Amino acid sequence: MIEPGQKLPNVSLRESTGYSDETHCPLPPQAVETGALTAGKKVVFFGVPGAFTPTCSGKHLPGYVAAADELRAKGVDEIVCIAVNDGFVMGAWGRDQKADGKVRMLGDGSAELTKALGVDLDLTANGMGVRCKRFSMLVVDGTVRTINVEAPGKFETSDAATMLKQVAELG
């Protein structure tokens, strides 16, 4: 698993930022390179097992949406949610959760970043395939400063309140 002090792997994630007027569906996702996203910036990432799932939709993402202004006031340039879902799903979930302009919703559809970070979770026995463990991390200029990975079934250390404290402590 990636550790503080290591460089974030440069992978391509997918983001859909708009909606079709005709179909009301998310527009085709565009590539977002993690290297370019984090260069010269302070970025909070948090990962969830899946879009539209109970804890992810009820607590995790809403907490970061609510804390977005506070995190930005502490110098955070970007807040990024990732899940092993495609960019279309992430775009629709972000719209549903009113995350637009607060949290960037990036799809890691092939689990490339998830696996590179070492936070992959095999849920094939439950019919969900490979997913992302619940986590949060602060990345400054491409280098991981802190990472919080939850134990299975837990939601205690990857929440927005914990990240707010860590951003304040780590600067």
> For residue 139, what are its two tokens?
């990345």
Q: Is the dihedral angle over the CA atoms 46, 171, 65, 36 positive or is it negative? A: negative
Active site residue 25: no
- Of 25, 56, 81, 132, catalytic: 56
CA dihedral (43, 50, 123, 28) in degrees, to 10, reads -90
> For residue 157, what are its two tokens?
């250390």
42-47 and 78-83 beta bridge pairing: parallel
Spatial separation of the C-alpha atoms in residues 79 and 25, rounded to whole Å: 23
Phi/psi for 122 (5° steps) reads: -85, 105
Catalytic machinery residues: 56
